[in-house]
Structure 1
Amino acid sequence: MKILIIRFSSIGDIVLTSPVVRCIHQQIAGVEIHYLTKFAYRDIIASNPYITRKIYVKEDLTNVLKELKKERYDFILDLHNSIRSFLVRLYLGRPSDVVNKLNIEKWLYVNFKWKVLPDIHIVDRYLEPVRKLSVLNDGKGLDYFIPSADYVSADHLPLTHLHGFVALVIGARHATKKLPLWKLQRLCSLLPLPVILIGGPEDAADGLILSAADPLKIYNGCGKYSLNQSASLVKQSKYVITHDTGFMHIAAAFRKKIISIWGNTVPEFGMYPYFSNGHMEPGMVENKKLNCRPCSKIGYEKCPKGHFNCMNQLEEEHIIAISHTF
């Protein structure tokens, strides 16, 4: 049997499809799994041993579609559910099914605060379409595979961090999903362990400001490492503090202790840290007293109300208190 899985983006969403890949591989004898994603996210699946063929696309799908047409897939699993993924399924003309993203229910929650979303994680929604193939959730959580070449050895870390550190993920795609810089500064000052800041090149300037307060305690890793190298640092950390972002799910794949910080989005959307059966629950920090949350299922560049109380009213001491339970 040959199956095509479609998920074009983004980091966290692709990581969240990993149980589907594993379960299909382990429960269907002799299956071939092909995975279609954007070239920009190739590192996430490049080392996944359960995927037979990885197909990366940039902007133009034309040449890729011609190649995929030759494969004559037995089943197409669309885990993106977008116009683009629909066009792929339409062109290939093979048996397929699609994830229910519950966009109507999310829209009602965002715009009217009607809580009609079912209490089901996105991972379990991803697995629903493959039940017809007799594939079930194995309860083993997420996967993330780091190639050996991308492992960051302790020799490359500051001496102050060799006996343990906190991975603090300071970035997020949208500003309303991030703690303000002044709150991150205070959080860093209160943390009892050395800190490694995790983020991309776009977070490097904020990382420089944060690390300047205490260069021995706070190491700015933002923009210095690739995605997989940063994931290696997350894996080596004592615990992880993160916004609602892709590294939250990478940390969950490594079964790390996680404190997740929520701004304009909410865990009820079904994309909170997902662990294997019996693993610890994450510490989720959010302001539940606001009637404006959630204001978006994705995020904004600034608070629509102007007050940003979903983040500004969070207490750093509460985050520290959770860390003391680890």
Structure 2
Amino acid sequence: MGFRCWLYNKTGINLYKSKNKDKKFNQFKRQLFLIKLIFDWNIRKKIELNKVKKILLLRQDRIGDMIITTPLIRNLHNNGYKVSVISTKDSIEFIKSNPYIDKTFIWNWGWSYTELFKKILLIRKEKFDLAIDLREQLEPKTILFNILTGSKRLVGFNKSNFFSFDVSINYNNPKNHITMKMKAIMDSVFNLNNDSLEYDAFVSKMIDEKGKNYIDNLRKNNKKIVVINPFASLRERDMSLEQLADITKTLQSDYNNLEVVLIGEQSLLNTIPDTVGIHKYSSHSILDVIPIIKYCDLVISVDTAAVHLASAFNKKIVGLYGLFFWDVRFQKLKWQYFNSSALPKNFKIENYLHFNEYAWSPKTSNKSIQIFSQQGELINTIPPRLIIEGIKNILN
């Protein structure tokens, strides 16, 4: 067998054949190639659940992703497993009061490879029986970390080309709600077929009472409380000041029985001009706004984290979504080049890279509505008139 054939059989990556001149994609190929060649030498083994006690969830994502993971955490805990989580700082802050979690570890996307290996050594000391990679994305740094956690078994989504993953769950239905990924794990790995997929959101008694008292003080004469979250985790997904001004002005003029509360990062709230009758809730972290959402009547949000939180408390929801793409060409090259075996014939990467009415919809039995931008546009391009119509449909 020639050297080129051996490389291809070992890694699934043909570095010689590709003529793609995309610098970013070629860098991705080289990094992934080296990771597979040097580290991906595992012989897949069957998961014996009777030998699994300690589980590490690899959730290197944002707060919204952590919220939709809480049903998996709860169900694993309730079935006798000790569950630990590694995630970004804000996401770890969100689960700080979650009673179903054993240990937490902070992930930093800015780590150098030296820092990454230091964290790997720390994780390996825990001797986890099973690690679960909850991300479909292919990033060399997370793939390397996940392969080297030292867990006895490794599970992931659409990772069949990595020998280090003992189980690769084929998941490629963009019309499923995002929580169905959690169900896929519970069903296919743990045989937990009938467990609840409801979200959890825990805070201390002090934080809960502070938020409740704030809302109660606004509820004079049985007023309704409308919470608006105009900011997302990425500035491209923010509501514009013009949209916010039109919405709040209309709510104030057309309804005399409600109060409007703005939530979000304090530095961003400070950029919004003070308006009579519009309240800004001072918060230091995501934990502070949980009771505000819990005790209000309607949540209007551009951020899926707030939509998920509102769903956890079965609130009325107006969710705003931008149908813009995340570097579609690069993502499509990654998927087709390396992970094609996990893709259906009619696969469209666009369905995976933007929000749609299925995957990220509000998960509530209460009234809710989703409002989308035009294809390829940002949230701040949605006409305020459409947003106001949606809000009135919910309020009326």
Could you tell which deviates more after superposition, 312-321 or 37-46? 312-321
Residue 25 of structure 1, CA deviation: 1.8
* 1:85-234 map, 5 Å: 85-93=142-150, 94-100=152-158, 118-130=174-186, 131-136=188-193, 138-151=195-208, 152-156=210-214, 159-162=217-220, 163=222, 164-191=224-251, 192=255, 193-207=258-272, 209=273, 211-212=274-275, 215=276, 217-221=277-281, 224-234=283-293
Q: Which amino acid aligns with 1:54?
A: T
Within 1, Cα distance between the matches of 2:280 and 2:386?
23
TM-score using structure 1 length? 0.77
Within 1, Cα distance between the matches of 2:83 and 2:92?
16
2:376 matches 1:320: no
CA contact (8 A) 2:212 2:292 kept: no
| 1:311 corresponds to which of 365, 371, 382 | 382
Q: Could you say what secondary structure the match of 1:41 adopts?
A: helix
| Residue in structure 1 matched with residue 318 of structure 2 by the alignment | 259
Within 1, Cα distance between the matches of 2:94 and 2:239?
26
TM-score using structure 2 length? 0.65
| 2:361 corresponds to which of 252, 263, 272 | 272
Q: How many residues align?
A: 285
Within 2, Cα distance between the matches of 1:137 and 1:19?
12
Q: Could you say what secondary structure the match of 1:229 adopts?
A: helix
Residue 91 of structure 1, CA deviation: 1.1
CA contact (8 A) 2:68 2:308 kept: yes
Within 1, Cα distance between the matches of 2:376 and 2:303?
13
Q: Which amino acid aligns with 1:98?
A: G
Residue 117 of structure 1, CA deviation: 5.1
Deviation sequence 1:49-100 (CA, Å, 0-9, x none)? 1111222244333333223212322211111344333222221343111135
CA contact (8 A) 1:260 1:284 kept: yes
Residue 233 of structure 1, CA deviation: 0.8
Residue 129 of structure 1, CA deviation: 3.1
Within 1, Cα distance between the matches of 2:268 and 2:315?
23
Within 2, Cα distance between the matches of 1:61 and 1:148?
36
Q: Which amino acid aligns with 2:72?
A: V
Within 1, Cα distance between the matches of 2:173 and 2:62?
22
Q: What is the RMSD of the two structures over their aligned residues, measured on CA atoms? A: 2.7
Within 2, Cα distance between the matches of 1:78 and 1:136?
20
Q: Which amino acid aligns with 1:165?
A: I
Structure 1 gaps, min length 5: 102-115, 296-302
Structure 2 gaps, min length 5: 1-52, 160-171, 324-353
Q: Could you say what secondary structure the match of 1:47 adopts?
A: coil
CA contact (8 A) 1:259 1:322 kept: no
Q: Could you say what secondary structure the match of 1:61 adopts?
A: helix
Q: Which amino acid aligns with 1:247?
A: A
Q: Which amino acid aligns with 1:266?
A: F
Deviation sequence 1:212-244 (CA, Å, 0-9, x none)? 2xx2x21012x5443111111111111111114
Residue 266 of structure 1, CA deviation: 3.1
* 1:75-94 map, 5 Å: 75-81=130-136, 82-93=139-150, 94=152
Higher-RCO chain (CA-CA 8 Å, sequence separation at least 6) = 1
| 1:36 corresponds to which of 67, 86, 94 | 86
CA contact (8 A) 2:215 2:225 kept: no
Q: Which amino acid aligns with 2:153?
A: P
Within 1, Cα distance between the matches of 2:213 and 2:190?
47
Greater Rg by CA: 2
Identify if the C-alpha distance between structure 1 residues 229 and 319 changes in structure 2 by more than 3 Å, giving closer, same or farther: same
